[in-house]
Amino acid sequence: MSLNPTLEGTKKIDESKQGNVFFQEQENTVKPADAKHFYIESYGCQMNFSDSEIVASILGEVGYHPTRNMEESDLILINTCSIREKAEDTVRKRLRVFDKVKARRPGTLVGVLGCMAERLKAKFLEQEKLVDMVVGPDAYRDLPNLLSSANEGDKGVNVLLSREETYADISPLRLNSNGVTAFISIMRGCDNMCSFCVVPFTRGRERSRNVFSIIAEATDLFHKGFREVTLLGQNVDSFKWTNPETQEMVNFAQLLEMVALVHPDLRIRFSTSHPKDITDEVLHTIAKYENICNYIHLPVQSGNSRVLKLMNRTYDREWYKERVEAIYKIIPDCAISSDMITGFCTETEEEHQDTLTMMEFAKYSMSYMFFYSERPGTLAGRKYDDDIPLEVKKRRLAEVVELQTSISHDLNQKDIGQTFKVLIEGDSKRSDQDFKGRNSQNKMIIFPKQAGLVAGDYVQVKVREATSATLIGNIV
Ligand code: SAH
Ligand code: SF4
Ligand code: F3S
């Protein structure tokens, strides 16, 4: 997934991103008979999924092992998302399920992690009696302390945000891993203050992670057999890390190059790019290295300049179009995807049409599409009237979805007859006779297996059929 919540809204989800529950037990872990177990569910964006792997690593240090079975767990964790109201509703529904487990297994602790923990803080303990711990995204190192207090009966909250925390030294415990693709968190927080968005409040100030720890993590993953890493941040283009010893600054383009040089067989993806910050230097770096994928997630949010201004996105329609043109000029076979919000405060029908024409212009390979959901505390929540009726928001969303389906369909038809280098990720969902994998443009391709090939291998696949979501082909 891109930095996109995968649980709600209307969007295209690629196969690997659908599961929201982490329950893969780590193979080869020797567990003492009295080992404690934790069960974790993650909601929201990739950042949260990545954080859950950091949490798993921290808990491993104090003897807690992951389990797929919530009924045998001593600790149930839910890593939450606040991006839209519906995301929070989902979390509350899950807490009702945990309630029942707790009733059957007294002593089981329940912890709420992530963005909703940060947003609601101690209020969570008042609202949800079963919750024992509320832990914000920058406080996961405190989990062992909170856990031992909770085991003594003291409920705990730590929602302190940090200006420095990047968990750089923590080696994530890969949960639910296919052994081929992995996320690497390269920065945390966001300084952008888009008027609709809760993330700056739940994740705090933007900070970039030590470059050497990023390279070390990528190298380690490669040696363990992984063949693709996705560098994660809310706005990767503003990555900026200064080496404290040399005072040299590393920007995102330079970081991309350094990761690309880890090994030519290690594919690099990244998410999310902000249209205001993506530079030609980044585009030229992508073009220069075959292993940096030709795929950019460049959320537009709206195609109308007045709405973009109201959203505080700090670019306008013309700027965005210029960036799209630059991408297709510098990386001709690049795929671009997007996020769109319909029915933002005061959006008119004409302005909504601008989003549709922008989609045609940018030719998005896919998009994550949502109707506007007012979030408490944001600029829009405080200052603007959420005045577009729900039916109108939903109708506009349906139009956006319909257009995206048709654009994706047309683009995919053009791929028929073409041959792509595909990284095998595993068995296709539908049949164990087929593999699934992705091309550089991030399109999922399904193709019949061939003896001797395994997940993690690269193959050349010629496309013979296509739907709006998937390509189907054969190894050549
Ligand atoms: N940092 C990324 C976005 C992270 S949130 C970026 O700037 O592109 C993922 C997506 O959720 C956003 O791109 C936006 O389309 C959507 N979103 C965020 N807040 C929302 C809200 N209040 N209502 C509806 N959609 C929202
Ligand atoms: Fe939210 Fe905007 Fe930051 Fe993205 S860039 S996380 S939309 S504030
Ligand atoms: Fe991600 Fe949701 Fe938080 S989108 S940053 S988990 S609010």
The pick from 202, 370, 386, 396 for probing ligand 1's pocket by mutation, whose C-beta has the most ligand atoms within 8 angstroms, reads 370
Q: Is the pLDDT of residue 3 over 80?
A: no
Tokens of 272: 């999310």
Higher pLDDT, 11 or 358: 358
The separation between CA 465 and the C-alpha centre of its own chain, rounded to angstroms, equals 29
In this predicted structure, what is the pLDDT of residue 31? 52
Pairing of β 419-427 and β 434-438? antiparallel
Q: Whose CA is nearest to atom 1 of ligand 2?
A: 197
- If you measure from the C-alpha of residue 300 to the centroid of ligand 2, how many angstroms do you get, rounded to a whole number? 11
> Ligand 3 centre and the CA of 386: distance in Å?
21
Whether the per-residue pLDDT at 4 is higher than 50: the answer is no
Place of tokens 């920058």: 138
197: its two tokens: 């968005």
What residues line ligand 1, using a CB cutoff of 6 Å? Answer: 3-4, 83-84, 196-197, 199, 234-235, 272, 274, 299, 301, 339, 341, 370, 372-373, 375
- pLDDT above 60: residue 24: no
Nearest atom, ligand 1, residue 371 CA: 24
Q: Could you tell me if 250 and 241 are in contact, meaning their C-beta atoms sit under 8 angstroms apart?
A: yes
Nearest-atom index, ligand 3, CA of 4: 4
Q: How far apart are CA 327 and CA 284, in angstroms?
A: 9
pLDDT at position 9 over 60: no
Supply the Cα-derived Rg of the chain in whole angstroms: 22
For residue 274, give the 3-state DSSP assignment. Answer: coil
Dihedral over Cα of 93, 378, 341, 268: its sign: negative
CB of 256 within 8 A of CB of 291? no
Is the CB of residue 420 less than 8 Å from the CB of residue 463?
Answer: yes
Count CB-CB contacts under 10 A for residue 386. 16
Distance between CA 166 and CA 187 in Å, rounded?
7
The rounded Å distance from CA 249 to ligand 3 centre is 28
Judged on CB neighbours under 10 Å (0-12, 13-18, 19+), 312 is: middle
Q: Could you tell me the residue ranges of all domains in the chain?
A: 11-158, 181-414, 419-475
Query: Residue 35 has what pLDDT?
Result: 85
Find the 396 Cα to ligand 1 centroid distance in Å: 17
* Separation of CA 233 and ligand 3 centre (Å): 11
Compute the distance from residue 327 Cα to the ligand 2 centre, in Å: 21
pLDDT reading at 25 higher than 80: no
Distance, in Å, from the CA atom of 13 to the CA atom of 36, rounded to the nearest integer, reads 34
Question: What digits encode the pLDDT tens for the residues 120-178?
Answer: 999 999 999 999 999 999 999 999 999 999 999 999 999 999 999 999 999 999 998 99
> Is the beta carbon of 456 within 6 A of some atom in ligand 3?
no
Q: How far is the CA of 215 from the centre of ligand 1 (A)?
A: 29
Q: What is the dihedral of CA 129, 131, 132, 135, to 10 degrees?
A: -140
CATH superfamily to which 181-414 belongs:
tm_1862 like domain (3.80.30.20)
Q: Which residue from 20, 40, 43, 47 has its CB within 8 A of the most atoms of ligand 3, so it is best to mutate?
A: 47
What is the DSSP secondary-structure string of 200-233?
HHHH-S-EEPPHHHHHHHHHHHHHTT--EEEEE-
User: Does residue 298 have a pLDDT over 70?
Assistant: yes
Ligand 3 centroid to 320 CA: how many Å?
Answer: 24
Which contiguous run of DSSP H or E holds residue 63? none
| Integer Cα distance of 230 and 2 in angstroms | 9
186: nearest Cα among 82, 112, 264, 258: 258
Closest Cα to residue 218, out of 145, 270, 175, 176? 270
d(CA 462, CA 473) in angstroms, rounded, equals 5
Give the CATH number of domain 11-158: 3.40.50.12160
- At 155, list the tokens: 């409920």
* Mean pLDDT for the chain overall: 93
Exposed e or buried b per residue across 280-308, where buried means at least 16 C-beta atoms within 10 angstroms of its C-beta: eebbebbbeeebbbbbbbbbbbbbbbbbb
CATH number (2.40.50.140, 3.40.50.300, 2.40.50.110, 3.40.50.2300) of 419-475 reads: 2.40.50.140
Q: State pTM to two decimals.
A: 0.93
> Please, which residues bridge with residue 10 across strands?
369
**Gap between the Cα atoms of 298 and 275, Å rounded:** 6
Query: Which of the ligands is closest to the CA of residue 345?
Result: 1
Residue nearest to atom 24 of ligand 1 (CA): 372
DSSP 183-203: EEE-EE------TT--HHHHH
Q: How far does CA 259 lie from the centroid of its chain? A: 19
Closest residue CA from atom 2 of ligand 2:
194
The closest ligand to the CA of 368 turns out to be: 1
Which atom number of ligand 2 is nearest to the Cα of residue 193? 8
User: Which of 89, 187, 202 most suits a substitution to test ligand 3, by most atoms within 8 Å of the C-beta?
Assistant: 202
Q: Sorting pLDDT into bands at 50, 70 and 90, what band is 415?
A: very high
Token representation of residue 181: 């693709």
Q: If pLDDT is split at 50, 70 and 90, which confidence band does 60 have?
A: very high
pLDDT digits (tens, 9 = 90+) for 109-122: 999 999 999 999 99
CB of 101 closer than 8 Å to CB of 69: no
Q: Residue 16 has what pLDDT? A: 31
Helices (H) and strands (E) in the chain, counts: 14, 23
Measure 450 CA to ligand 2 centroid, in angstroms.
Answer: 43
Mean pLDDT for the stretch of residues 318-346: 98
Residue 368 CA to ligand 1 centre (angstroms): 9
By most ligand atoms within 8 Å of CB, the mutation choice from 115, 135, 370 for ligand 3 is: 115
Q: Please name the residue that has the structure tokens 């671009």.
A: 336
Mutating to test ligand 2, I would choose from 4, 84, 203, 235 the residue with most ligand atoms within 8 A of its C-beta, which is 235
> pLDDT band at residue 32, thresholds of 50, 70 and 90?
low
CA contacts within 13 A on the Cβ side of 312? 12
- Mean pLDDT, residues 200-226 taken together: 97
Percent share of the chain, pLDDT over 70: 93
Instruction: Render pLDDT for 247-289 as a digit per residue (tens, 0 to 9).
Output: 999 999 999 999 999 999 999 999 999 999 999 999 999 999 9
Please tell me the least confidently modeled range out of 25-34, 153-162, 275-284, 295-304. Answer: 25-34
The full DSSP string for 78-131 is: EEE--SSHHHHHHHHHHHHHHHHHHHHSTT-EEEEEEHHHHHHTTHHHHH-TT-
